[in-house]
């Protein structure tokens, strides 16, 4: 299924397009630029940058910036949370208001083990649904074949959609299709967390 309706912005309405958007992720090598990745559109204009701990100097902390380098999201991993006899770690994404204060906008529960294809669920603030979660990850990020899906089963962002074939030649280059009305900054905040969880470009 695909998303067909508009959604309330999670980070900013500036990043909610009325049409589907295909963006390209290019990973930055640790040895050259400290890690992280850059997101560009079809004209190679930089839309987002993600700084990992190689740049920020702090483990389990990420920063999503706009194309000009302004901070959009600070993302941190919190300590262990005991829930139903299982121990989880949670990632939390914060925006900044005009006074510089941090406002929680989403939380992602990390699986106990990244060796299995566990479902990861995301909740937003304010809540987008009356369920215990608002979005989930389906598929397997290391294969670049996964989606962010809402509670109705609609795909809101697809990582490595099969219809774009020319970008499958490099492990440091992949693409993301973001559906109309979906907050692209939120989608790439989630992708930054997945990148770190699976030990890719943002992790030291």
**Could you state, in order of their start, the residue ranges of all structural domains in the chain?**
13-197
Domain 13-197 has CATH 3.30.420.10: no
Computed on alpha carbons and rounded to an integer, the radius of gyration of the chain in Å comes to 16
CA distance 202 to 119: 21
CA distance 143 to 149: 17
Token couple for 199 = 């030990």
The per-residue pLDDT string of the chain (204 residues; one tens digit each, 9 = 90 and over) reads 444 445 668 999 999 999 999 999 998 877 667 789 999 998 999 999 999 988 888 888 999 999 999 999 999 998 655 555 556 788 999 998 766 678 999 999 887 765 556 678 999 987 666 777 899 999 999 888 899 999 999 999 999 855 555 555 566 789 999 999 999 999 999 999 999 998 888 887
Please say whether the beta carbons of 147 and 138 come within 8 A: yes
């Amino acid at each position: 299924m695909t998303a067909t309706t508009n959604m309330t912005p999670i980070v900013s309405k500036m990043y909610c397009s009325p049409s589907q958007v295909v963006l390209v992720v290019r990973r930055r090598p640790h040895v050259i630029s400290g890690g992280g990745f850059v997101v560009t559109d079809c004209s190679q204009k930089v839309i987002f940058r993600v700084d990992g701990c190689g740049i920020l100097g702090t483990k389990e902390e990420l920063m999503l910036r706009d194309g000009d380098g302004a901070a959009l999201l600070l993302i941190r991993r919190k300590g262990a949370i005991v829930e139903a006899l299982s121990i989880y770690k949670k990632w939390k994404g914060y925006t900044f208001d005009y006074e510089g204060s941090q406002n929680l906008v989403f939380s992602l529960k990390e699986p106990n083990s990244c060796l299995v294809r566990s479902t990861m669920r995301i909740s937003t603030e304010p809540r987008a649904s009356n369920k215990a979660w608002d979005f989930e990850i389906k598929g397997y990020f290391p294969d670049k074949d996964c989606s962010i899906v809402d509670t109705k089963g609609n795909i809101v962002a697809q990582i490595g959609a099969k219809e774009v074939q020319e970008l499958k030649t490099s492990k440091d280059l992949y693409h993301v299709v973001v559906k109309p009305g979906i907050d692209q900054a939120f989608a790439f905040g989630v992708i930054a967390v997945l990148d770190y969880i699976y030990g890719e470009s943002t992790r030291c």
